[in-house]
């Protein structure tokens, strides 16, 4: 929303100027400001609220899986029926790799995908792809004879551009887990690292 708030005024000025004077140099200058500010703000501040979203979800995760050490990533997710022109993400979630299944743990979307049911992982475009700022990692498979597809997009960084640059690397890591069961070693950022609760003796 912030990129739109800061960039759209230049688009309005460009349209007003063009209506009054035609496509003069100032119209193109306003248009360039609209594109540059909109793209730049989206690229570097598009996920400005990521930290609080991830922290809130981590609290929920901790309640059911305390001190979890499995590798996990903060992602945007969309299930097959979801459609939106502005935000491609139906929900935010942790993608968690277990030995034999992949878990999506979100605010609303929560599901397991057995590793044996996955048939392919691949890159697919979404609205961010139009801006050269990322796209989906598509997890596709078959369950009870019916095909399924879950779409996820990295959201580990508040900078959309950094998440876009990480997409191919993550596809390689997740594909290695799917094909050979080789889950990457979790980094400190991927686990909760919450302090152990104090015992009664430590409090005294």
Same domain, 85 and 157: yes
Q: 63: domain CATH number?
A: 2.30.29.30
Element (H, E) at 119: strand 118-124
The whole-number pLDDT of residue 25 equals 86
* Cα–Cα distance measured from residue 188 to residue 26, given in angstroms and rounded to the nearest whole number: 50
Same domain, 92 and 29: no
Same domain, 34 and 132: no
86 contact partners, CB below 8 Å, separation of at least 6: 127
The whole-number pLDDT of residue 192 equals 54
DSSP 8-state symbol, 99: S
Which domain range does residue 12 map to? 2-45
pTM: 0.81
**Residue 196 forms part of a structural domain:** no
Same domain, 163 and 68: yes
Q: pLDDT for 153-184, tens place per residue?
A: 999 999 999 999 999 999 999 999 999 876 67
Same domain, 90 and 105: yes
Same domain, 181 and 114: yes
Q: Please say whether the beta carbons of 100 and 114 come within 8 A.
A: yes
The whole-number pLDDT of residue 181 equals 78
* Cα–Cα distance measured from residue 3 to residue 41, given in angstroms and rounded to the nearest whole number: 5
The whole-number pLDDT of residue 196 equals 44
- Dihedral of the alpha carbons of 106, 110, 115, 117, in degrees to the nearest 10: -130
Same domain, 99 and 79: yes
**Residue 199 forms part of a structural domain:** no
**Residue 204 forms part of a structural domain:** no
The whole-number pLDDT of residue 195 equals 41
Q: Please say whether the beta carbons of 109 and 136 come within 8 A.
A: no
Same domain, 34 and 55: no
Residue ranges in the chain whose pLDDT is less than 70: 1-2, 182-183, 185-204
The two tokens of residue 87 are 């935000």
**Total of domains in the chain:** 2
């Amino acid at each position: 929303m912030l990129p739109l708030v800061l960039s759209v005024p230049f688009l309005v000025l460009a349209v007003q100027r063009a209506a009054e004077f035609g496509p003069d140099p100032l119209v193109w200058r306003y248009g360039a400001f609209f594109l540059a500010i909109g793209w730049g703000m989206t690229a570097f501040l598009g996920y400005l609220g990521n930290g609080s979203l991830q922290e809130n979800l981590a609290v929920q995760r901790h309640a059911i899986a305390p001190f979890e050490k499995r590798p996990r990533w903060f992602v945007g997710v969309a299930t097959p029926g979801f459609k939106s022109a502005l935000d491609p993400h139906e929900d935010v979630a942790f993608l968690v790799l277990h030995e034999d299944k992949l878990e999506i743990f979100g605010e609303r979307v929560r599901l397991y995908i057995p590793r044996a049911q996955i048939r392919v992982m691949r890159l697919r475009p979404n609205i961010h792809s139009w801006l050269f700022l990322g796209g989906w990692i598509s997890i596709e498979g078959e369950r009870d004879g019916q095909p399924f597809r879950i779409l996820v997009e990295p959201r580990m960084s508040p900078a959309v551009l950094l998440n876009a640059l990480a997409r191919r690397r993550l596809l390689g890591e997740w594909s290695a887990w799917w094909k050979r069961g080789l889950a990457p070693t979790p980094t400190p950022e991927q686990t909760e690292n919450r302090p152990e609760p104090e015992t009664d003796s430590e409090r005294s």
